[in-house]
Amino acid sequence: MQKRKLFSFALLGTMLFVSCEKNLYDPTKIPEKEPTVADMVVPADFDWVMSQQVNCTVRTLHASQVSLYSDEVCKEELIAQFTASPGNAPVVLSLPKDTKVIYLKYTDTQDKEKSISASVENNTVIFELPADSKALAQTRTGSGNSISLLYPSKWGTILFEDMFPKTGDFDFNDLVAKYQIMLSGQQASNGYVTNMRVSLYIYAVGGTLPYNPAFRLAGLNKDKIDMSSVKLLSVVNNPTPGVKLNILDSRSNELAFELENGTKNPNKIPGSVFLNTEPGFVTRRSETTQITVDFNFKEPVDPAQLQEPAVDFFLISKDKNTEIHTKGYQPVVKEYDYSMSGLHPNEPYCTDRNLVWAIKVPYEARHAIEKANFRAAYLRFSDWVQSGGKQSTDWYKTNLGHTNNALLIQWKR
């Protein structure tokens, strides 16, 4: 009997000890919440802009054909092609803010291709073209020389959240599009762009709200466009009835296009809820919807009016009541309502904490998978944002170890 009592007391003591151990509060063992985009402290004056306009001067003794690239081997990332001549005005380029150096390719007198580099400093880059560059025959006075500009040189990516004016999950994949602009014309002392081509690849649609992709030329009156020249140059991977190009009724008479049905894709993987945001349900990049819009200007236009930040990619609801833009742009169709809860009192399309619904990246960035923590996918994104754009300006580059690739989309091969 005595042994039984002793055993009972020992068992009770053990139970009490275990109970106390379970209830012991240890703050070091409580898992911390993973910081998200919503937790960022964003400087009030941060503009979220990743591109810059750069004036490029090529000093030369004679007229020569040159090409500018952002890659050192001068093969893949073409920025511009034009004739460099003595006394020519600078050529306006649109470049990522993290661009430190660009490269110029020319042909020498022995018909060999050569290249030189120059640093980008204070929105200026200056090349000294070597004397061995091949001289071109002078064109007739006033006839000019052809010029073409591409930006971004390695394409760009626009990433949207579609819950405006509410904040969503900030995975920035409700609509993802790759984009590139090509400008061409004849060089002249004033404006010289006569043709513009806008290309979009609709990479992903991770939202279900009824939006169409759209773009406008901010600040440029649509009366300067030859409307008879406007055309869908090509549409690939889009089902019947296909993309319809609608000209929006702009309050400020700017040129604005809606790409109706632009989010539809016949190659969407069966069983997927969204387009290209769910691991295991991803198409090839070549199977995404590809749209190219082409048009001419009535008179030559200054390229500075057509490069970043002039091209405004946005989403517009099918009833035209809601638009989603990158920070700072006014809506096209209706007045912006600053009185809505949580919005900044005088800056459109950002919250009162300077969070945004759209990010324009001057690079072909991979988008986050569904419900991914964007900060965990792009490890230096928060450094860039919270420093006001001063740090980690190349946060979006996957080849520099700045990303958690498990949280980024893996394209089907």
- C-alpha dist (Å) from residue 48 to 16, 57, 200, 351: 57, 28, 21, 13
- Any long-range contacts for 125-129 (C-beta under 8 Å, 24+ apart)? 125/54, 125/55, 125/56, 125/57, 125/93, 126/56, 126/57, 126/58, 126/59, 127/56, 127/57, 127/58, 127/59, 127/66, 127/84, 128/59, 129/58, 129/59, 129/60, 129/61, 129/64, 129/66, 129/84, 129/104
User: How far is residue 60's CA from residue 133's CA, in Å, rounded to a whole number?
Assistant: 9
User: How far is residue 79's CA from residue 52's CA, in Å, rounded to a whole number?
Assistant: 13
- C-alpha dist (Å) from residue 369 to 199, 286, 288: 24, 19, 16
Chunked into runs of 10 residues, the chain (413 residues) has average pLDDT values of 44 42 42 85 96 95 95 95 90 94 97 97 97 80 74 95 94 97 83 92 95 95 94 83 91 95 93 96 94 95 89 96 97 96 96 98 95 96 97 91 93 89
pLDDT at 15: 43
Helix (H) or strand (E) holding 184: strand 175-186
pLDDT at 136: 87
pLDDT at 139: 53
Q: What is the pTM of this model?
A: 0.88
Secondary structure E strands in 286-387: 289-301, 311-317, 323-324, 358-361
User: How far is residue 361's CA from residue 342's CA, in Å, rounded to a whole number?
Assistant: 25
pLDDT at 233: 86
**Three-state DSSP state, 371:** coil
* Look-up of token digits 């626009």: 158
Cα pseudo-dihedral 356, 358, 359, 363, rounded to 10: 170
User: How far is residue 251's CA from residue 334's CA, in Å, rounded to a whole number?
Assistant: 7
Q: Cα dihedral sign for 180, 366, 409, 313?
A: negative
Q: Cα dihedral sign for 387, 368, 258, 345?
A: negative
pLDDT at 236: 87
**Three-state DSSP state, 156:** strand
Cα 92–Cα 96–Cα 97 angle in degrees, nearest 5: 100
pLDDT at 154: 86
Picking from 318, 403, 301, the residue whose alpha carbon sits closest to that of residue 361 is 403
Helix (H) or strand (E) holding 8: helix 2-23
User: How far is residue 312's CA from residue 1's CA, in Å, rounded to a whole number?
Assistant: 88
Q: Give 51-102 as a 3 state SS string.
A: EEEEEEEEECCCCEEEEEECCCCCCCCEEEEEEECCCCCCEEEEEECCCCEE
pLDDT at 270: 95
**Three-state DSSP state, 126:** strand
pLDDT at 3: 42
Cα 38–Cα 405–Cα 353 angle in degrees, nearest 5: 15
User: How far is residue 148's CA from residue 299's CA, in Å, rounded to a whole number?
Assistant: 16
> Residue 304, class by beta-carbon neighbours within 10 Å (0-12 exposed, 13-18 middle, 19+ buried)?
middle
Q: Strand pairing partners for 201? A: 178, 290
pLDDT at 9: 42
